[in-house]
Structure 1
Amino acid sequence: MGDEMADGKTQPSARKSGQHPEKALSAAFVRAVKDPGKYFDGHGLFLKVERSGAKRWVQRIVIRGKRREIGLGPVSLLSLADARAAALENRKSARSGGDPLSEKRAASAVLSFEEAARKVHEIHRPSWRNPKHAAQFITTLETYAFPRMGRVRVSEVSTADVLAVLTPIWLTKPETARRVRQRIGTVMKWAVAQGWRQDNPADTISAALPRQEKGQQPRKSLPYAELPRFMADLRAAKAGDLTKLALELVILTACRSGEVRLARWDEIDLDRAEWTIPAERMKAKKAHRVPLSERAVAVLSEAKALGAQMGDTSGLVFPGIKAGKPISDMTLVHADRWLPF
């Protein structure tokens, strides 16, 4: 006969001393039992059977002088052997001064990769000046990373998970793959900062990925001695006058094409030969003063006269075909298509 439990249920294989024995339950009993109640096994571990028929493991344990209960999980996910192992580890942790209940809560607080990625996206979005870039950060992860490892806790993401995401696109979509890897790495660095892991698996897989073919090569620089011929070719090219003047100003000022294309007359003082680019249009977010050479002033003067002939009122130095819009960036990027060489 077994000992009668507090809730009236009989614990099988219990000792007559009234103490709860170790390993009192059996796997067969756990599968078969249906009556609601608590069935003790050992190390404070007991099986709780609900009136609904649901079965789950619970452990009673003393943590730092206080008696607590820790839910270990349902029988459907945790076998008797696994529940015993978990209970023993909790008991060892508590005896050494640890708090297995707090540790369990901390582990459950770790976000999945998808949750962490969306959190990182929200944190960084205000700092991204380009809305398109902000959107691409999350859409590329939704497309390539979430289906494979979105539900994995960031603490558990492995190099194998990252490889599984990148391998199918590493050679076929090299630029996309590099960006996905970079964005996975950004999420992992955040997880490291949260204390949820010690490493960044996106940084340790280079040797496991095949070598990518080199993409478009950077344009070759033009020797200074050839500049006079280039400028003559530029002025003779079959392109719009404003387009040619814009490219010449890029050369004369060493400014980015976007800074030149979006230049406005209220930024330029021709009398003082000075152009002040406002902070909001600079990559470094600091206003930038550009001294203008004599030829640069002449270029801007020609552009002003052309704008007046067009009847432009946008305030842009280099207005495009569409009213209120600057000349296209692609027009300058692909200058080799209309230059005579």
Structure 2
Amino acid sequence: MPLTDTAIRKAKSGDKPIKMADEKGLYLLLAPAGGKWWRFDYRYLNKRKTLAIGTYPDTSLADARSRLDDARKLLANGVDPSEHKKATKAAKVTQGANSFEVVGREWHAKQARVWVKGHADKILLRLENDVFPWLGKRPVAEMTAKELLATINRVVDRGAVETAHRILQNCGQIFRYAIATGRAERNPAADLRGALPPVKETHHAAITDPAAVGGLLRAIDDYKGLFVTKCALRLAPLLFVRPGELRQAEWSEIDLDTAQWNIPAEKMKTRLAHIVPLAPQAVEILTELHALTGRGRFVFPSGRGPQRPMSDNAVLSALRRMGFAKDEMSGHGFRAMARTILDEVLHFRPDYIEHQLAHAVRDPNGRAYNRTAHLAERQKMMAAWADYLDALRTENVAPLKRKAG
């Protein structure tokens, strides 16, 4: 039977928590200490969750039922009521549950589960700095393209055109989420296509001429800095992973016996686990480094303590100290170097190269290749690449010849 105010007032606590059921999943939890809490149990994405609705008598029976109806409407539209509550609290708004900031934070919380933490943090920071202060309190359903453009143009005016494009993309994703959850009917960001100045195409600085690569490798061999940094520099061209993946490498991921580095999905930009075959030259460097850092967690620990990895700028700063300018070579440049030479000099299949670069390679049916795809071929490729780098180091190289067309 549904609860009544009289029954609630007369209810006594016991030695254990007591549930007094109402209707539609709502219940009052009587704590042994005397508290009375409204709760709603539900399932979201096949997980059992509980929503705290309020305390009695501050939240009356009628108010609890009203809040329950709101929560059930959110569920019907595919929204987790608990995440919605957190987003509303974080936004600190009083204009209602459907402000742009509330919906934006809710969208971000949902997406952050599958993003790399650094990427998720950057997106939230952009929204907090450049969007929410001006548009956060506006009802998402009433937002116009004109006011969105005015806000994003503030970013353009300070010269951050690429950031402005990223913000527009994120806002468009928030509006699409609002439409999907029944809180908006259109996406004003779509009306701004072509409204922002174009982004000037830039590339990570990279050395791709074989003779110049040889000079870079010899400079790395002569590097006089920290041994850990030198090992990272020596491995960067051999492995050509993203700089963040390299510096955060952990010994638990590396098997020197099988000559493989297994990078877990949560560390990868693509959110797919990745295997890096280790050529004998890479195994030799790692074996030598293991004697120094192998008792800790990180392969390349920070100089400030072994509990965290080396800094973002360690490899980049070392390149600058060796005399390589920012428009000449970057940490990401080792990837472009490998991609260019493996294709245009060593003539390996492009899909082998792209898969080893951990790009989102798809099979003919549109499915992502798993981490073991073409592993045997990639092992041979990595070994040939390491041997080629040794040849470049001793200046036994052939000039780079571009493919026709």
Pairwise TM-score range, normalised by the shorter structure: 0.5 to 0.7
Q: Which moved more, 1:254-263 or 1:140-149?
A: 140-149
**C-alpha deviations, 1:17-76, integer Å up to 9, x for none?**
xxxxxxxxxxxxxxxxxxxxxxxxxxxxxxxxxxxxxxxxxxxxxxxxxxxxxxxxxxxx
Matched, 1:229 2:229: no
- Map residues 1-341 of structure 1 onto 2, 5 A cutoff: 111-130=98-117, 133-174=119-160, 175-197=162-184, 199-211=186-198, 214=200, 217-305=203-291, 307=292, 313-324=295-306, 325-341=308-324
Structure 1: give runs of 5+ residues left out of the alignment: 1-107
Structure showing greater relative contact order (alpha-carbon pairs closer than 8 Å, 6 or more residues apart): 2
Q: What is the CA-CA distance between 1:314 and the residue it aligns to? A: 1.4
**Mapped contact 2:264–2:274 kept (Cα < 8 A):** yes
Q: Greater CA radius of gyration, 1 or 2? A: 1
Q: 1:119 to 1:160 in 2, by over 3 A?
A: same
TM-score of the superposed pair, with normalisation by structure 2: 0.49
State the 1:160 CA deviation. Answer: 0.3
What is the CA distance between 1:216 and its match in structure 2? Answer: 6.0
Letter in 2 for 1:163: L
Distance, in Å, in 2 between the alignment partners of 1:138 and 1:304 is 37
Q: CA RMSD in A?
A: 3.1
1:204 counterpart SS class: helix
Classify 1:238/1:340 alpha carbon distance in 2 versus 1 (closer, same or farther; 3 Å): farther
Q: State the identity as a percent.
A: 35
| 2: CA distance, partners of 1:122 / 1:274 | 34
Residue 309 of structure 2 aligns to a residue in which SS?
coil
- On the 8 A contact 1:110/1:154 being kept in 2, the answer is no
Task: For residue 244 of structure 1, report the CA deviation from its aligned partner.
Answer: 1.8
What is the distance in 1 between the residues matched to 2:205 and 2:119? Answer: 25
Is the CA contact (8 Å cut-off) linking 1:279 and 1:286 kept in structure 2?
yes
Deviations 1:264-294 (A, max 9, x none): 3333333332322334433344443322212
Q: CA deviation at 1:111?
A: 2.4
Distance in 1 between the 2:288 and 2:130 partners? 50
Three-state SS of the structure 1 residue aligned to 2:275 is strand
Q: Output the CA distance in 2 between the equivalents of 1:285 and 1:141.
A: 23
Structure 2 CA distance for partners of 1:143 and 1:319, relative to 1, 3 Å:
closer
Aligned to 1:272, what secondary structure does the other structure show? coil
The one-letter code matched in structure 2 to 1:220 is A
Letter in 2 for 1:330: N
Report the number of matched residues.
228
Q: Aligned equivalents of 1:220 and 1:334: distance in 2? A: 15
Unaligned stretches of 5+ residues in structure 2? 1-94, 325-405
